[in-house]
Structure 1
Amino acid sequence: MKKRFIPSLLLAALLAGNAQAEIVSDSLRTTIYYRTASARLELPYMDNDRHLAALGDSIRSLGGDPAVVLRRILIQASASPDGNTKYNKELARKRGEDLRDYLKDNLSLPDSIFALQPQGEGWSELAEKLGRTDAPWRDKAIAIIRDTPEWVVREGKVVDGRKRQLMNLAGGRAWQYMKENLFDSLRSGALVVCEVERIERVMPEPETAQAELKPAPEQAADNTNNTQTADTESTATLYNGKEEETTLPENGAKESAEKKPFYMAVKTNLLYDAALVPNVGLEYYFGKGWSIGGDWMYAWWSKDAKHRYWRIYGGELEVRKYFGSKAAEKPLQGHHVGVYAQGLTYDFETGGKGYLSDFNYAVGVEYGYSLPVAKRLNIDFGIGVGYSGGKYKLYEPEDGCYVYKETKRRRWFGPTKAEISLVWLLGRGNENSKKGGTK
């Protein structure tokens, strides 16, 4: 029975001396929104506070109605297909549990009334949104979502999958389009569906009931408008329980809410290590493919008797942008480009002429690829081209002393950086799915 007939039916029930009860099923729904990669419920975000406040108002105003019974609150939590599949499924589960706990604690609802259905990645919603676009590859993408399993397994090994095919569609342009235009709208997080049973009072004589219902259209129309407004703002539910005040906290988040994922890496350049220059670096990912990193090197080897010196220390700062299908799966992997700045001091001598610099610098651009090889291990390949400048002194050992010869200026444009780095992944959620990064 549509909601606009409820006031008329209740009026008929009051006027009738004898009536029989009939159960009518109904449902209402509301959507709660979350920030990207977060399971934390934020009341001010996307009008969540207004949606939940309207939900509470409906419970308080209609909870005492004996003709209305709330049978179940179904929470369908999801995440966008962008990113790591395992992490997205866990994120959807945490969102559903966090929202359930909030509703239970703040609206005085029993545990038995809740049912969680983590949806994982929102593939059906993505297909629906793709159907409303005019992209030339639209039909192929929808067919992949509909017909390709999440994982394609042969002889116990994952060889292909739905996400991989979508990433390769149209040379990667399809996935990039979905990232830029569709995925954000799939990050709503949780759909709350309230399943309601209403008691319909039916008159024993249809003619009498029909006569009593005649004056109700105006009232029913008003009720329809009110119901549509409630559906628009929160689509709140009904609950046959206590009529008591419930206060929604301002922060809207539990102390135990899940923290956001954290992506960081510790690395060492194996080429420098092979040249007996120990080095260590840190890289921090701050979102949307961007990261910032720093490296430090230090070596102080010398053999005075043979006039051999190998002394160098300095560092580098770099900003990177990751891109491509691997980067879409998880941060800190795949293709990357960046800009960097270096500064160092050195003193090199191998038994003859020596080179001493108090400070040299370099700036340039780099390209590289970070390859997943284990759960928390990548190999990062890179090459940089730029300008190197600074002054250095030439000296030679003579009669037990080091004799200064001349000062020169370095002006060099070309390769200034080479990298084969071993990368350890740190942080929550910063794990490769399996060796080689295949999902």
Structure 2
Amino acid sequence: MKNKPTYLKRLAFLFGLLLSLSADIFAQKEHTEEISVKPALLYFRFDKALVDSGYMDNGRTLRRLDELFSDSIPTARIDSIYILSFASPEGVPSYNNRLAMRRSHAVRNYLIWKYPHLDKCRILPCPQGENWQELRRMIAEDANLPKQKEVLQIIDCTPETEKRKAQLKKLDNGIPYHYIRQKILRYLRNASICTVKLYADTLPALPEPVCVKPEYQRQEPYAHNLPNPLTEETRRTMEQVRQQEQLAKNKRPLFALKTNLLFDVAMMPNIEIEVPIGKRWSINGEYMFPWWLFDGDKYSMQILMGGLEGRYWLGSHQKRENSEVLTGHFFGLYAGGGKYDLQWKENGYQGEFFIAAGISYGWATRIARNLHLEFNIGIGMLRTDYRHYHARDNYQTLLWQENGKYTWFGPTKAKLSLVWLLNRKVRKGGIK
């Protein structure tokens, strides 16, 4: 009986030790449990794939993302970030699929640029294409939509996308479709940072996105019906995106051949070559060589001219990464020179050498596969030494009249150029 309290103390100690170990194991299991964070929506303008902080409620969403991702210590424990991107159901589905892909990569590139400490291998783009599911939900909630029941019936009973769009446009002379375009579709052009998996008790949950409310009441967007980003279809889409990214990277142009259409109209043959240097810089070389005599030497237009121009392409880092090479706005510095012989009937001018230099501004856009259209204007100085002559003896004898110098400050070039991109050859296994 004397040792009974000792045994009880030992049993109590062992029981407490087991309880403590169980609590530690449970706590460790809870600590490593993964959680999913609510989605954050970033909206895009029509037919755009640029993260615009000034559009709709993107500014607030970006600030909240900054609160979550700015600290490199807790973000090191993030397991994965999925970016589901969508396009509004208008236009050609194949183009909308590519647009959704560009939007998911725009958000991914933004996160990588803004938060370089994030592991970019864990930021996974998941383009979803046209978002008919959310469109139907929003239509069902909007009692002000004309012909609401008929619109829902078309969506539910027409499996083919093109026929569905055509029927929606024809319904009641297009009045319901016009309402949908004005009131609803802008909310479907978005990318959702929808699943951030991280270890529990490390970071606060991503704040719920605040969306600009339309004229009718809406529920929390996407929180209850987002597709699973890890479906087999999404995995295939991600693999296609990766392959298309690699293909696009491999097809970066070696150089571009160009001709100034304004000179072509004036019968002045010309050629230009532009070589891109990364996404920001390019070097453009030009050569013009009209060498004409008309009407028995009565008229002469003989010019040999060449020049070089260095160009800086404008736009944010993210925009340049998502833009095609040699497109957008640019500034340049140019210099060139040459010689000429210009004659109109009896009067003519010859210049053994002239120089022109200045600054330029231009804009280029894609008009077809491997074809761009470029506008360019330059302002600077032109200086030349010339000889004035009169033509005699049926324009076969030139009588020199005077020598002189001429200097001009102002516009020195104007271009409307057709650009043909020559890409690297892509073969299986890489670039050859």
Please indicate, yes or no, whether the TM-score normalized by the shorter chain is above 0.5: no
Instruction: Report the TM range for the smaller structure's normalisation.
Output: 0.3 to 0.5
TM-score computed with the length of structure 1 as normaliser: 0.44
TM-score computed with the length of structure 2 as normaliser: 0.45
Relative contact order (alpha carbons < 8 A, sep ≥ 6): 1 or 2 greater?
A: 1
